[in-house]
Amino acid sequence: MSYRFTLPRDERLAMSFVVNVEEGSEQSIASGDKAPEPVDELGVSLKIPIRNYGNESNYLYGIRAGAPRVMRLLNQFGFECTFTAAAVALEKAPDLAQAIARAGHEVCSHGHRWIHQFSFKEEREREFIRAATDSIERTTGTRPYGWLSRYLLTDNTRRLLVEAGYEYHMDDYSDDVPRWEFVELNGQQRGIVVVPYALDTNDMKFWLAPGYSPQAWLDYAVESFEQMYREGGERPGVLNLGLHLRIIGRPGRIGALERFMQHVASRRDVWVTSRLAIARHFAALNPL
């Protein structure tokens, strides 16, 4: 089905900066998990039940040093973005949670913790969603209306999100524009907006591809921007840039983000906004 997608002031492109806040909510023996977090910049994946203090401290870097750098750039350029936050991460970093709220950024739920929910039975997943929602409302003052799973989800996830009052989800990589998705709830068809995410522009490449350079990441991001900007004269879309405090917030990488932001700021006909604003704009253009 084809949906209408134009931008509020006929901009050529919607630019979505997505900052993932996962630090402190990852898998850990200290949190009662069976093994430590396997996602590690060094590629050291421990499958035995011992604490990986080194990786825990590497994640903590995102809160202590990475977050101030990222927040400074967002403030410098005046860009509104979406923080996809695991609820426990914000609980452990209340100063960051308040800084995000004061700056007026959207907080999208990235789960209660940064763990996989694909194995959860329905009631456990319902509780996982509820716990995340309530926690983020406590730490930021506003409940989340968007959701991003840790990559994998269940057949129940979308229905449970609608049940919990969510307006959009990001668990999709299939397009550059939003669309409606429908689930059956209490015998009725209900809609939730899909705001597709992107993996190719994500800074996780620095961890997954050894030797990947900030310049290579910047060049790819700029080329993606320019292509979608050209296409936007006829068909505007959403460009996603996925970021992580502990990754892009490093001294050798933050400059690439700053240069990309400078490139975006040089164009006046770009809508830099939150994913919730994009979802609500789409829903207004395509009412059910």
Residue pLDDT tens, the chain, 288 long: 789 999 999 999 999 999 999 999 999 999 999 999 999 998 888 888 999 999 999 999 999 999 999 999 999 999 999 999 999 999 999 999 999 999 999 999 999 999 999 999 999 999 999 999 999 999 999 999 999 999 889 999 999 999 999 999 999 999 999 999 999 999 999 999 999 999 999 999 999 987 899 999 999 999 999 999 999 999 999 999 999 999 999 999 999 999 999 999 999 999 999 999 999 999 999 999
Domain range for 237 is 13-285
Pairwise CA distance, residues 201 & 76, whole Å: 22
Total domains in the fold of the chain = 1
pTM: 0.96
Is residue 2 a part of any domain in this protein? no
Domain contains 1: no
The reply to whether 5 falls in a domain is no
User: Is 120 among the domain residues?
Assistant: yes
Helices (H), the chain: 53-61, 67-77, 87-92, 94-102, 122-140, 157-163, 205-208, 214-231, 245-248, 254-265, 275-285
CATH number at residue 116: 3.20.20.370
Of 110, 152, 150, nearest to 132 by C-alpha is 110
**SS3 state of residue 18:** strand
Residue 6 domain-assigned?
no
